Structure 1
Amino acid sequence: MDVIKRKVAVEELQYGMFVCELDRPWLETPFLFQGFLLETDEQLETLKRYCKYVYVDVMRSNASAAVPRCQDSAELSLSLGPDTAPLTRGPVELSRTWVSERNSRPHRAERRFVYSPLTRLNHPRLGTVTYSDVATVEEEVPAAREHTAGLERLVDEIHVQILAEPAFDVQRVHSAISEMVESIARNPDALLLLNRLKLKDAKAFRQSIYVATLLMAFGRHLGLPKEDLVVLGEGGLFFDIGKVKLPPRVLDTQRLLTPEELKVFKSHVAIGEQLLGGVRDFPSAALAMVSQHHERENGSGYPRGLVGNQISLFGKMAAIVDCYQSLCQGYMGSAPMAPHSALQMLHELAGSAFHPGLVEQFIHCIGVYPVGTLVELQTGEVAIVFAQQRGKSRQPRVLVVLDPHKVPYAKPFVLDLAEGPTTAAGEPYRIVKGLEDGMYGIDARQYF
């Protein structure tokens, strides 16, 4: 199908035009999904506030919308086959894996991506379900805590069992994950908060619960139905299961591996495929996540060097979440990164290693400052993020725990940054930076 995009000034936009790209990253705007039909006054006014021009997809616009012919080179005609999803980029290409990228980041001004819309992912159920928060974090925490405890017990059992033989009760896993999905549907922040706070002391195989929670929340954000969220949870829970068969020395994140050790480490994918391939009724889409969570859009991943849409949607999502969590934990001699910094790294790799549209949506999903993380306000006060505001990824709800001198408050207090609370000087509170876990001796678990 031919895709024809034309650059249109916001003053010339008409209802019925399909806006497929902006003059800035989608993440810098309130729009949650990349690409939409212009239908409301609110959409138009928002575009006028944030943009000077946009790109309109002529073929997806209504016939009644007179799209002006472009007078410069901004009009693009791309031929897309039914099974391809090319990722177009600016003049500077990021072709290395994320490990080497950490030591050589291109200057921001030298890089420009043309963001690939989610509509090119060819997944029929994207955006088919609209979720809304029907419970607050405080209301959902008890159920989230109960579901997490049950899944922890089950994961412990499976870990012991699978070392002896590749078999476990898939239906028990399905039921446990389904309960988690119901909690995610009501409000994902409760499970995300609890399971992130558990990471510090969690055994490696229990950390997969947080990965599964991230993937289920990601699927919710993308508007996938609950049955897909269950598959994402099952895949996230087990995509690193092959590591149970690896020697401890290759799982040491505090040092660089030798080439021989790296080869052994990479074998966890094949081991995971083998273990789960023999488990009756394990979902094929979840098994594909095991196979593909180290694949990369530009073919630089492993084990098969898949490219673009050779990687399934769930595989692409798993790759993003796995990389994010690895960055936060530290990987092969690299120090752990604060979540905010890890998201910045993911954003830099969008368009080379990862699908750029999905990276932006993942950041929208968990927020620029994810729940459970520490942030500093412009007052010098330190706070813990405990809830996101949908569509306002830079304005979460926070619990302020340290005063400007970094002394603990006797009574921590809540700020909802989206409501515009002001300081004593009359300025709206704002986050100035994310902090590493444990800064100033803070243990966020004691507050929740």
Structure 2
Amino acid sequence: MRWPPIRRTSRPGSIWNAARFSATRRRQRTGTACGLCRANKNMPLREIPVDELQLGMYVSKLDRPWTETPFVFQGFILRNEKQLEVMKKFCSKVFVDPEKEDLSEIEGHAGGTAASIRGTTVYKEAASLDAELPRARSAIAETTSALRQITHDVQVGGAIDSAKVKEAASGISESVVRNPDAASLLVQLQEKSGETFNRAIHVSVMMSIFGRFLQLPRESIERLG
């Protein structure tokens, strides 16, 4: 027995027309949204004077190299008044990215640290590489010895000598402050050995060098190490 073909009614109020109308509307909305996305994707940076900056704007580019300012990150959302003050001090105009801005940020909200500010301690090389290498080697050797002793004390259930740990970290940080290249060179040469202690020393040296780069005070560099 053959069933008769199903006829699709063309009445405006039919289920078929309602479904077809709904699908067309979805395509129209999707197409419009995609068009807006494409337009926003190509939105250029906007140049404005620093006096017009607002919290929530995304600063993408400055009128000078980032290295000439205290900002660590190149590109960030303005979150607080301190960042605005520093920006106005070093720049006369900036380029903001409208796509990345967050204008829901309100003044007085100091949360978020997307643009960390460097410290104010300026370090100059106080020793040449040749002069600092022996001192850096000695500091690394003393720190390695201290780590071995601490590991042994932990294994036998003894107490950790915190003064010894601080003294060891201090030796590395002082060497890095005088000339960071010496300690960096030594840990890179030792890295291939793969020994656990050498990895720990490598991390300590790199963190100290990073603290020096951020112009942090000596006590902060020592804590990082």
TM tier relative to shorter chain: 0.5 to 0.7
Shift of the 23–142 alpha-carbon distance from structure 1 to 2, 3 Å rule, reads same
Show structure 1 runs of 4+ deviating over 3 A.
20-24, 28-33, 54-59, 65-68, 72-76, 80-85
Q: How far off is 1:174 after superposition?
A: 0.9
Shift of the 78–225 alpha-carbon distance from structure 1 to 2, 3 Å rule, reads farther
1:118 equivalent in structure 2: 116
2:42 equivalent in structure 1: none
Aligned-partner residue type, residue 145 of structure 1: R
CA contact (8 A) 1:145 1:194 kept: yes
1:48-81: CA deviation from partner (whole Å, max 9, x where unpaired): xxxxxx9996943559x9879x9x7786525264
> Aligned partners of 1:8, 1:192: CA distance in 2, in Å?
41
Shift of the 146–33 alpha-carbon distance from structure 1 to 2, 3 Å rule, reads same
Q: How far off is 1:139 after superposition?
A: 2.1
Q: How far off is 1:23 after superposition?
A: 3.8
Q: Are residues 1:227 and 2:200 paired?
A: no
Identify which of 83, 103, 108 aligns with 1:77: 103
> Aligned partners of 2:130, 2:67: CA distance in 1, in Å?
25
Q: Are residues 1:218 and 2:214 paired?
A: no
Within 5 Å, which residues of 2 pair with 1:8-407? 8=47, 21-23=59-61, 30-31=67-68, 33-34=70-71, 59-60=84-85, 62=88, 76-79=102-105, 81-85=109-113, 116-119=114-117, 126-165=118-157, 167-233=159-225
Number of equivalenced pairs:
166
Residue aligned with 2:196, SS: coil
Aligned-partner residue type, residue 115 of structure 2: P
Structure 2 residue runs without a partner (length 5+): 1-44
CA contact (8 A) 2:77 2:102 kept: no
Aligned-partner residue type, residue 103 of structure 2: S
Q: Alignment RMSD, CA only?
A: 4.1
Aligned-partner residue type, residue 216 of structure 2: L
Shift of the 230–75 alpha-carbon distance from structure 1 to 2, 3 Å rule, reads closer
Residue aligned with 2:197, SS: coil
> Aligned partners of 1:82, 1:151: CA distance in 2, in Å?
39
Q: How far off is 1:30 after superposition?
A: 4.3
Q: How far off is 1:180 after superposition?
A: 1.4
Structure 1 residue runs without a partner (length 5+): 1-5, 37-53, 86-115, 120-125, 234-448
Between Structure 1 and Structure 2, the one with more helix by share is 2
CA contact (8 A) 1:8 1:56 kept: no
> Aligned partners of 2:68, 2:170: CA distance in 1, in Å?
29
Q: How far off is 1:178 after superposition?
A: 1.1
| Superposition TM-score, scaled by structure 1 size | 0.31
Aligned-partner residue type, residue 8 of structure 1: E
| Superposition TM-score, scaled by structure 2 size | 0.58
- The structure that has the greater radius of gyration is 2
Q: Which has the bigger relative contact order, CA under 8 A and spacing at least 6?
A: 2
